[in-house]
Structure 1
Amino acid sequence: MKHCSRRQLLKTTLFSTALFAVPSPLLAATRPALKIPPLFEVQRGKPIFLNMQNTQTSLVSGKRTEVWGFNGSYLGPTIKIKKDDFAKLNWKNNLPQFVAINIQGLQASGELIGGVGKNLQKGETWAPIIPINQASATCWYHACTLANSAYQTYRGLVGLWLIEDKESAKLGLPQKYGVDDIPLILQDMQLNSDGAQLFQQNQGAFLGERLLVNGQEAPYFNVPRGLVRLRILNASLSRTYELRFEDERAFTLIAQDLGFLPQGKTLNVIKVAPSERVELLVDLNDGDNVSLIVGKKRDFIDNIRYFFGSEGELVDNTVLELRPDGLAGAFAQKEQTWQFVTDAPSLLSAKVQQERAFHVDVTNATINRNRFDPRRLDVSAKLGSVERWTLTASAAVGFALRGAKFIVESINGKALEESEIGWKDSVLINGTVTILVKFDNTSSNNYPFTFGASDLMLADKGCMGLMLVQ
């Protein structure tokens, strides 16, 4: 029998205790299978019913808890609609408090989007009919209720909204939803021992210690070998994610927010701020399982350390473990250069009719030293015009606008290459960002557009402004 010292015994006991205490998703063999939000494909004239209501789900394995969602499920269905179709929406609020809803990225008038100007009271319905006039994009819908958007979004009022056009269908990209075209909704949360959500309205930034993807922690997904498309939405309240594969493999960024880039960009790491969406292509023809992660790769000891205390850090930094299955694809995609048609770079040569500067004070939740005031108009823009906005912030923070779109012109004084320029509605401010904003949709005093922090904790404290386009 081997003898050990008291110190060795104590270390062994602590390690064993830690092993049993660590959440099961940290152990790869016990990961849950990724849930795919149900797909609702819109046919012309087919209504889209979205009922906001209480429901139950298991955010932690084996523990049912009350959450919010749509149509009886945590999170909403993925709405898929084609350009030139009509979205015949039917919102209904079955929750105990009033809710305003935003479809982030949708290019339509303020009266049709609703936003902060349209509160649905308990039991109320609203049925706008929205023409879809924009190119292929990954949008999303979520609560935008004044001073309460963070809580309501956190509870589960989130869903994806995909737009397709004739051109995107011919590109040869992975298009089998939930097979090789995989939606990933990222949320960080605080959970109690019963698996229920914890939230404090009056705190600063919200940085949960548990990372959920489509409502599950550190899931896996079986994918066919070949090219896989990941549609990633940062639906977290405050956290910006730095994403990479654990083996540092390259991937191709093909789209951001409101459409394709002119050319796919090969990367090993990408940052995604709240409200941003990115579409990534990864080649899984060769090799074994691989995980998409946040931050740096960790070993088991790192996971133990983070579990026992690193405030604001994720207990498990795994986004998704991809498990390729079957035979390799007939054609390797490694050397392919992806080219896309977009008019976004043409905005660089457009006449700029107005220049504005906005400074976000993260500590005081202000923009240009002002907090949100529903009686104050912050931006009045002319329909069809282009403006240059210079964005700065006291600390790195996400920024978003509704009802309009923009391209990023420069970051910290460095102009973007034309091949990097695509249509966006959300961006990370980390230094100085210059954007060119295009106003193609009208808003009114009753149904204004808004702009400001995409960190919903800051937005609820007043870090936003009103925008009128006429």
Structure 2
Amino acid sequence: MRLINRREMLAASAGAAALLAGSPLARRSAFAAERPALPIPRELRPGPNGEVRLNASPSSVEFLSGVKTPTFGINGPYLGPAIRARSGETLQMRVHNGLAQDLTMHWHGLKIPGDVDGSPYNIIRPGANWDIALPIDQHAATCWFHPHVYPATAELVIKGLAGLFLIDDEQSDALPLPSTWGVDDIPVIIQDRHFNSDGAFFHRFNLAAVTTGYVEDVALINGAVYPQAKTARGWIRLRLLNGSNARSYRLAISDDRPFFVIASDGGLLEEPVRLSELTMYAGERYEVLVDARNGNPFELVTRPVSQLAMNLPPFDTDLPLVTFVPDGADGRGRLPDALVPLEPLDVNLPPVSRNFVMNMNLDDQGMKLFREAGLMAMNKSGKSDAETLRKVRALLYDGPPLSLSQQLSANAVNGKSFALNEVSDNAPIGVNLRWRLSEGDDRMLHPVHIHGCQFRLLSISGKQPPAHMRGWKDIAPVEKGGFCDIQVAFRHPASRQYPFMLHCHILEHEDSGMMTDFTVS
């Protein structure tokens, strides 16, 4: 597959926008005249006493040429810094809420007590600070942080509140991995967005949102449209975050060169796993190494997926996300033969003690709307005609908003929609457990996230997980009546005042009831 130049990219975007009649992309000539450089989030290391300061505030960014989009950012106009900590440290965190609405900040992937987790129970009022001591009690990993206000997480993340949380340790220090930030160790935060005619980000809790999640037509990488990164010439480490609200990605390299997965959500694998394609679900992180020693440019592309409504143009074909041009000095990192040892799975695990079933309360009338729009048939074929696309677009973007009560009861876990202060379960502290995460409707995909832990996948619908998913995880994909069995243990307590959460990481599902909470003691 050859590189796609800017003119072809713009033509493809315009063609996709024309199919989605009424999209603001069809009414604007193009994005900025020059392709942007890939933005690299600033590393934010703890101060002398371990202090880390985050400030969430409103701003604006020119994503579309000549149009300002209102945004939220953390220590900047959009997205946030990359917090960099070491295992064994305790960070003195201060999060300031400079917004005119409630905020929380969840440390996604960190193994921490419930009272500092940043769940919907850790509300920061407008103008207030949240001061906590955050212990870093785990191995090297690429984690992230984002708000977790119920039921407004989706909106806050769409507007830009998210950032990376990187943990280093002695084991990772000892490996010869690429480690020069922004040169051969490169963050890649993937998000999709749709713009209203005034340039604002679209978001509406309508029937489509609580079913498919946020389905959009522009890809942003680190907050930029189709950027380009100049890198070292050598092995390049990509820290991939699927920071989208709902969309899954099938990632590949444009010239079909292989790449090597070295880490998943919770840290390094035992050895690199060679792949030609990587599926990433909402909220997941992977670290991959790409061989760029020949100096040839390459693109990270995403291929069509079968997830409901996610193959609309321009995501109905191989879509280039970011170009890498390895024309710098030779990098010093390389691909190791082995990475880190993982503790063996517990051979004496008890039977399944909890089965958490993701339920969608979409009634027959709702399914009828989707069938009439052609969404179900189009999802199977991957293509459709302009009239079907028009109907689908109307369902996604023009459908009337639900009332708050309709939104909050649209989805559920184990048949019960989430409600604050109604803690549903308890887990023992320090005990290896076998839990099952299930999809109860034979319809949808749900990437399930559990707070306060990292777990190991035992099986996906009865089959052994692929090699790149056998390390530490905090997202498990359950799909179309399937299930994941996991080995999980909680090392830190969570009280009834500050319980842990378990939820679908399609944020519109989370914000419409597909979430439960539990204590650990």
Q: TM-score, normalised by structure 2?
A: 0.79
Query: What is the correspondence of 1:23-422 to structure 2 with a 5 Å cutoff?
Result: 24=30, 30-202=34-206, 203-204=209-210, 205-286=213-294, 288-295=296-303, 310=312, 313=315, 317-326=319-328, 338-344=337-343, 346-352=344-350, 355-362=353-360, 363=362, 364-393=410-439, 394=441, 395-416=444-465, 421-422=470-471
Secondary structure of the structure 1 residue equivalent to 2:273: strand
Q: Is the 8 A contact 1:78 1:162 kept in 2?
A: yes
Structure-2 residue corresponding to 1:302? none
Shift, 1:276, TM fit: 0.6
Structure-1 residue corresponding to 2:406? none
Q: Is the 8 A contact 1:210 1:315 kept in 2?
A: no
Q: Taking structure 1 as reference, are residues 57 and 418 closer, same or farther at Cα in structure 2, changes over 3 Å only?
A: closer
1:317-349 CA-to-partner distances (Å, cap 9, x unmatched) read 222111110466689x5xx553122434x2333
Q: Is the 8 A contact 1:274 1:398 kept in 2?
A: yes
Q: Is the 8 A contact 1:95 1:122 kept in 2?
A: yes
Q: Is the 8 A contact 1:262 1:421 kept in 2?
A: no
Note if 1:461 corresponds to 2:512.
yes
Secondary structure of the structure 2 residue equivalent to 1:461: coil
Secondary structure of the structure 2 residue equivalent to 1:370: coil
Q: Is the 8 A contact 1:251 1:283 kept in 2?
A: yes
Which is further off, 382-391 or 354-363? Answer: 354-363
Shift, 1:187, TM fit: 1.1
Q: Taking structure 1 as reference, are residues 296 and 340 closer, same or farther at Cα in structure 2, changes over 3 Å only?
A: same
Shift, 1:422, TM fit: 1.0
Q: Taking structure 1 as reference, are residues 329 and 93 closer, same or farther at Cα in structure 2, changes over 3 Å only?
A: closer
Q: Which protein is richer in strand relative to its size?
A: 1
1:24-70 CA-to-partner distances (Å, cap 9, x unmatched) read 46x9x942111111111225514111111101212234433220011
Q: Is the 8 A contact 2:295 2:327 kept in 1?
A: no
Structure-2 residue corresponding to 1:434? 485
Q: Taking structure 1 as reference, are residues 191 and 338 closer, same or farther at Cα in structure 2, changes over 3 Å only?
A: farther
Shift, 1:111, TM fit: 1.1
- When the two chains are superposed, the root-mean-square deviation of aligned CA atoms in Å is 2.7
Where structure 2 has 5 or more consecutive residues not aligned to the other structure, the ranges are 1-13, 19-24, 306-310, 363-409
Secondary structure of the structure 2 residue equivalent to 1:415: coil
CA–CA distance in structure 2, aligned partners of residues 52 and 350 of structure 1: 46
Shift, 1:356, TM fit: 1.6
Secondary structure of the structure 1 residue equivalent to 2:155: helix
Where structure 1 has 5 or more consecutive residues not aligned to the other structure, the ranges are 1-13, 298-308
Q: Is the 8 A contact 1:44 1:86 kept in 2?
A: no
Structure-1 residue corresponding to 2:375? none
Q: Taking structure 1 as reference, are residues 65 and 212 closer, same or farther at Cα in structure 2, changes over 3 Å only?
A: same
Q: Is the 8 A contact 2:191 2:242 kept in 1?
A: yes
Secondary structure of the structure 2 residue equivalent to 1:74: coil
Structure-2 residue corresponding to 1:301? none
Shift, 1:379, TM fit: 2.5
Q: Taking structure 1 as reference, are residues 418 and 295 closer, same or farther at Cα in structure 2, changes over 3 Å only?
A: closer
Structure-2 residue corresponding to 1:4? none
Shift, 1:253, TM fit: 0.4
Q: Is the 8 A contact 2:118 2:148 kept in 1?
A: no
CA–CA distance in structure 2, aligned partners of residues 78 and 116 of structure 1: 23
Q: Is the 8 A contact 2:250 2:302 kept in 1?
A: yes
CA–CA distance in structure 2, aligned partners of residues 20 and 199 of structure 1: 19
CA–CA distance in structure 2, aligned partners of residues 316 and 218 of structure 1: 13
Q: Taking structure 1 as reference, are residues 310 and 167 closer, same or farther at Cα in structure 2, changes over 3 Å only?
A: closer
Q: Taking structure 1 as reference, are residues 132 and 240 closer, same or farther at Cα in structure 2, changes over 3 Å only?
A: same
Structure-2 residue corresponding to 1:450? 501
CA–CA distance in structure 2, aligned partners of residues 314 and 148 of structure 1: 29
Q: Taking structure 1 as reference, are residues 120 and 222 closer, same or farther at Cα in structure 2, changes over 3 Å only?
A: same
Secondary structure of the structure 1 residue equivalent to 2:115: helix
Count of aligned positions: 439
% of aligned pairs identical?
A: 31
1:289-316 CA-to-partner distances (Å, cap 9, x unmatched) read 111011069xxxxxxxxxxx94684798
Q: Taking structure 1 as reference, are residues 218 and 361 closer, same or farther at Cα in structure 2, changes over 3 Å only?
A: same
